[in-house]
Amino acid sequence: MFTGIVTDIGEIAALTPGGQKGDRRFVIRTKHDMGPVPMGASIACSGCCLTLIEKGPDWFAVEASVETLDKTHLGDWKQGDRINLELSLKLGDELGGHLVYGHVDGVGRIVSMTPEGGSVRFVFEAPGDLARFVASKGSIAVDGVSLTVNEVDGNRFGVNIISHTQAVTTLGKAKVGQRVNLEVDMLARYVQRLLEHRP
């Protein structure tokens, strides 16, 4: 479980084939002190929950399955790419964003970026089957970043990214057309499911 509050921007140091055919192993450089992080811990990597399988003082390794590579943009990652990182919640931690599971629902893309004062107005396009879960003033995780939706227009939605968020996440270096991992608010999913099965 995560909050969508990014705690470090990591860097892909190496990519190699994983243990199973088609899987991929990533070595990720981080500013986090990995000493106290236990093997098998969950780490959100640009919104995707991955399991720690090896570590050093300033790096860790994870594996992504074929399914994960297909359903996220992890398959696009190259050596040197920077990614958002968040260590999993512990009981008693502050919940600063919203509850994020690290289960990517689909891949969207950045349609436009428009400066607005010190912020940038991003417009994202979500896959059609996810768009119904995105609501104005609701929460969404974009590459693991907890954001509040400003407005929705069909399968597109807008958010304002303040300068602090630009500085501490990869959204500060984002480009139009870039693919992003999306996780919709779990509450929206449950509400939709209840409405679908209402007598």
Q: What percent of the chain has pLDDT over 70?
A: 89
Report the pLDDT averaged over residues 114-118.
Answer: 92
Per-residue model confidence (pLDDT) at position 118: 87
Q: Quick one: pLDDT at residue 129?
A: 87
- For the segment 124-167, what is each residue's pLDDT rounded down to a tens digit? 999 988 988 898 998 999 999 999 999 999 999 999 999 999 99
Triad 8, 137, 194: Cα angle to 5°: 105
Q: What would the CATH number be for the domain defined by 8-87?
A: 2.40.30.20
Gap between the Cα atoms of 46 and 162, Å rounded: 18
Backbone angles phi, psi at 128, to 5 degrees: -55, -40
CB atoms within 10 A of CB 181: 26
| CATH no., domain 106-196 | 2.40.30.20
Tokens of 57: 């003082």
Please state the domain extents for the chain.
8-87, 106-196
* pLDDT category of residue 189 using cuts at 50, 70 and 90: low
For residue 100, which amino acid is it? V
